[in-house]
Structure 1
Amino acid sequence: MRAKGVSAVSENSLFLPNAVFVSDSTSVTDIFHEIANQLSAEKLVKKQFLPEIIKREEKYPTGIDLSPVNKNLPNIAVPHTEGEFVNTRLIVPVSLMTAVPFKNMIDPDQELPVKFLFLILNNDPAGQANILAQIMDFLRLTPVANLQELFKLTEPDKIYRFLSEHFK
């Protein structure tokens, strides 16, 4: 797991340069462990975040099949937990070097190979759906070629720059 950058960013941004990750882990639990450790070190999440995000992902899967948007796009997941376990409002992008199986949000009996996470941190309970809607709008409105470029990036600083420029 690698994270780079500095935490200087505008108040309105949903991204921080030090909260963008590239992971070579091959299981959901390992990914969550790595991310939670880094986010905790940055004081972005509370101690209970890790067990809660694991529990929530098991109960309410977040894998999303992007083939209806375009069959050439990889699947994503949007893991999150309740606002009481986080200290901020942020999207944490995670590029996965190897596809990792996540259960499908629509059909939990189906596993999807996922290559990219948009992990949602939101300490505003009323805003959870809003951030998810913003992510879905980004995926729907961004040209497929641009999304393919994003999903191929393997350097945190380049992922941060791309999202800072394209996520509106």
Structure 2
Amino acid sequence: MNKSAIFSRDAVFTSFQSNQDQLLKEIYDKLLDLGYVKGDFLAHIIEREHNFPTGLDTSTLGENLPNIAIPHTEGEFVNKRLIVPVALENPVVFHNMIRPDEELSVKFLFMLLETNPDGQAKLLSQVMNFLAKTPEEDLRNFLNFKDPDSIYEYLLQNFE
């Protein structure tokens, strides 16, 4: 797998938002400017997140790991296949993908952009594989990174 093909240096972000919809809009605006998503992407990713939450409780991976979310929507709203890492300066509430009634305080996103309707499962499994295979201490450090360059370099070196 060509890691530089699923990560792009200009699509690694840090956000100060503390509201989920505002966070998704901020990332959407940047991705739209870069030409990575289409104009109707935002409405669909917000709707999908409300109906099919993507928060992930990381306590099963280790102690004191920040929770993550993996928002995504259909490929028809995407122009380029990417995983978009987003470090959050403030926790943002997402609902748990396993128990949708449960709220999670999330500190890191892996937004999935997939043009192929059948490809989202593969991207999701790659993210889950990365989380499962990264040693706990390394994962804790990584999920607390705030610098986009550091995030990008770490993923190029460690994402399988």
TM-score by length of 2: 0.96
In structure 1, C-alpha distance between the alignment counterparts of 2:157 and 2:3, rounded to whole Å: 16
2:153 maps to which residue? Answer: 161
Contact 2:56 2:96 in 1 (8 A): yes
Q: Distance in 1 between matches of 2:53 and 2:63?
A: 21
**Aligned-residue CA RMSD (Å):** 1.1
Identity across matched positions, percent: 48
CA distance in 1, matches of 2:41, 2:101: 25
- The alignment of Structure 1 onto Structure 2 pairs a total of residues equal to 159
Instruction: Give the gaps of 5 or more residues in structure 1.
Output: 1-9
- Among candidates 36, 43, 49, match of residue 28 of structure 2: 36
Give the partner amino acid of 1:144.
Answer: E
Q: Deviation string for 1:83-131 (max 9, x for gaps)?
A: 0000111100000001111000011111000000000000011111000
Q: Which amino acid aligns with 1:86?
A: V
User: 1:22 and 2:14 equivalent?
Assistant: yes
In 2, the alpha carbon distance for the partners of 1:64 and 1:103 equals 8
User: For 1:11-47, what per-residue CA distance to the aligned partner results, in whole angstroms no more than 9, with x for missing partners?
Assistant: 8621000000000100111111110000000000000
What's the TM-score, normalizing by structure 1?
A: 0.92
Secondary structure of 2:121's aligned partner: helix
Match of 1:5 in 2: none
Indicate whether 1:61 and 2:53 are aligned: yes
- Matched with 2:139 is 147
Q: Which runs of 4+ in 1 moved over 6 A?
A: none
> 1:89 is matched with which residue?
81
Deviates more, 1:133-142 or 1:146-155: 146-155
Aligned equivalents of 1:23 and 1:106: distance in 2? Answer: 25
1:120 pairs with 2:112: yes
Unaligned stretches of 5+ residues in structure 2: none
Query: Cα offset for 1:145?
Result: 1.4
Specify the code of the residue in structure 1 equivalent to 2:109.
L
The structure, 1 or 2, with the larger RCO (C-alpha pairs under 8 Å, 6+ apart) is 2
In structure 1, the partner of 2:130 is: 138
Task: Name the aligned partner's letter for residue 20 of structure 2.
Answer: V
